[in-house]
Amino acid sequence: MSIADLSPAERHRAVASGFTEHVVAVTEWDAPTPVDEWTARDVVAHLVEWFPGFLAGGGVELSVGEHDTGDPAARWRAHTAAVQALLDGPRADDTFGHPMVGEHRLADAIDRFYTADVFMHTWDLAAAVGRDADLDPEFAEQLHDGMVDVEELLRSSGQYGPAVPVADTADPVTRLVAFIGRDPSWRQAP
């Protein structure tokens, strides 16, 4: 079964678990990543730092507790547990209204804006530690196809670099990675 077929709570659990596998494999947090000027530490920091503010913009507090220990893996574990608690909790079906993205069911907003981001950044972190990201191709294709329809908006946001050209026959993960501005052949220098 593809993660594309899962509920938002189940999908987050699976995607976060995949990301965690790469987090625990990091031995050098200052290792470069395919994202210009970002290290492995920066990938984790990005995910744990932007999302609480996004939720707060819609009136939802992400209760993580004291997590800024300087240990990216500990930060990630506390953060992802708090996100999962929201998805598994009674507020998951609440309406989440955000000035930038409109109204969504809270679980759907987390799924669409956050879990998808974790999925894409899994490739970055895996590449930084020299591992295969092992991303679900069906979900990669679903994300890619949805993003193509709003490409101009995405590019103008500054969140995505220019697409990297790949063959039309490239697999779905390669197409997604290239679409979001990563060089699919990027490898850490020896």
The predicted-structure confidence for 117-150, as pLDDT tens digits, reads as follows: 999 999 999 999 999 999 999 999 999 999 888 8
55 located within any domain = yes
Number of independent structural domains in the chain: 1
Q: Is the pLDDT of residue 159 over 90?
A: no
161 located within any domain = no
81 located within any domain = yes
Let me know: does 128 contact 33? Beta carbons within 8 Å: yes
pLDDT of residue 171: 97
Q: Which domain holds residue 113?
A: 3-133
In this predicted model, what pLDDT tens digit does every residue of 79-91 receive, in sequence order?
A: 999 999 999 999 9
pLDDT of residue 160: 83
Average pLDDT of the chain? 92
Neighbours of 97 (CB within 10 A): 14
148 located within any domain = no
Domain CATH code at residue 105? 1.20.120
Pick the more confident residue, 161 or 30: 30
Pick the more confident residue, 134 or 161: 134
pLDDT of residue 69: 66
In this predicted model, what pLDDT tens digit does every residue of 9-46 receive, in sequence order?
A: 999 999 999 999 999 999 999 999 999 899 999 999 99
Of 46-50, 96-100, 130-134, the one with minimum mean pLDDT is 96-100
Phi, then psi, of 8 in degrees rounded to 5: -55, -40
pLDDT of residue 170: 97
Q: Is the pLDDT of residue 157 over 80?
A: no
Q: What is the dihedral of CA 179, 180, 183, 188, to 10 degrees?
A: -150
Angle (nearest 5°) at CA 123 between 63 and 69? 35
25 located within any domain = yes
159 located within any domain = no
Q: Provide the terminal-to-terminal Cα distance of the chain, rounded to the nearest Å.
A: 36
Percent share of the chain, pLDDT over 90: 81
DSSP string, the chain: --GGGS-HHHHHHHHHHHHHHHHTT-S-TT-B-SSTT-BHHHHHHHHHHHHHHHHHTTT------S--SS-HHHHHHHHHHHHHHHHHSGGGGSEEEETTTEEEEHHHHIIIIIIHHHHHHHHHHHHHTT------HHHHHHHHHHHHTTHHHHHHHTSS-PPPP--TT--HHHHHHHHTT--TT-----
167 located within any domain = no
